[in-house]
Structure 1
Amino acid sequence: MAEENQHKILVPSDNDEKKIIRREVEKQRRMQMSILYSSLRSSLPSDLIKGKRSVSDHIAAAANYVQFLKQKTNELETKRDSLKEMASSSMVEIGNELSSDPSRLVKCVKINIIQGGVEIVICSGFEDFSSRLSDLLKIILEEGCDVVHCVTNQVNGKIFHTIKSEVKDLTCLNLARLQNKLDHAIL
């Protein structure tokens, strides 16, 4: 009989193995919950968790914060939609005004530095711009640029002039002054 008791001690029972497995599973679950809780806590703004120590307090704060974010999202979506409606209605109005008054089109000058000189792109409205183009070319020449190439294109009712020019010394070219003079000339 003593030998039987020793034999039972040496061979673990199925019940003991189940307890060990259950204990390991529970330990893994607690570790995973701890990691998830830590991640949740780090996602919350610090002012929401100040003074709160328990897990349940942090989870309640997280739930409230999610509700706050949902409300804020809905408000922003409403605001976005109203701004889109305002923009689309104003674009229709602007389109109607532009078709009656082409001088109201946006005009712009963009200067890019290229190898050996500058490239100037001028966007203008519907009106005949050829007489003004000669004035712009004079300004470019006055600033020390030698015009090499000039191309005019019409795209969607807008006129684009691309002027490529060579500059002997780019350090002597005052781009801001050139931009300012061209802006004033087209406006």
Structure 2
Amino acid sequence: MNNFQEKKRRRSKTPRVCNNEENMEKLVHKEIEKRRRQEMASLYASLRSLLPLEFIQGKRSTSDQVKGAVNYIDYLQRNIKDINSKRDDLVLLSGRSFRSSNEQEWNEISNHVVIRPCLVGIEIVLSILQTPFSSVLQVLREHGLYVLGYICSSVNDRLIHTLQAEVQYLELTNFTAIEALLTLLRI
């Protein structure tokens, strides 16, 4: 009987060891799964914090929030496309004001002037062929404009002058007349 009891103990000890290993595996798996759920919860919370309210309003399930994120991404992509097309249109418009489709026409134009508002007053962009720049400055001074900044660049063998000017009396300044005078300037 003693022998039988020993065998029984041996058998019972072996399953206990297996049981401990199984329990450890289960505990490790449970801990890993718990960490994974916590990480996913923090990722979903981060996603929720990045989305505007109108895309997650009233949506509690994570699948609804992910759909809201997808909708928001689509919305942003559409906005980017719209803004890019507007930018391209503006580039084309500004290109038309300085360039003609026909190069001969471009070379025949003596001066080209664009006046637009900027933070300090107005910005004047000139493309002049044979006009001395001093006469441009004289016209600006006569109309009460004070040049604050100046940049010159070369485009297609032409000089493009960009001036930023402060306007002393904004209401009294006739920008159309200044633009016409600068366009008609000759040597």
TM-score of the superposed pair, with normalisation by structure 2: 0.49
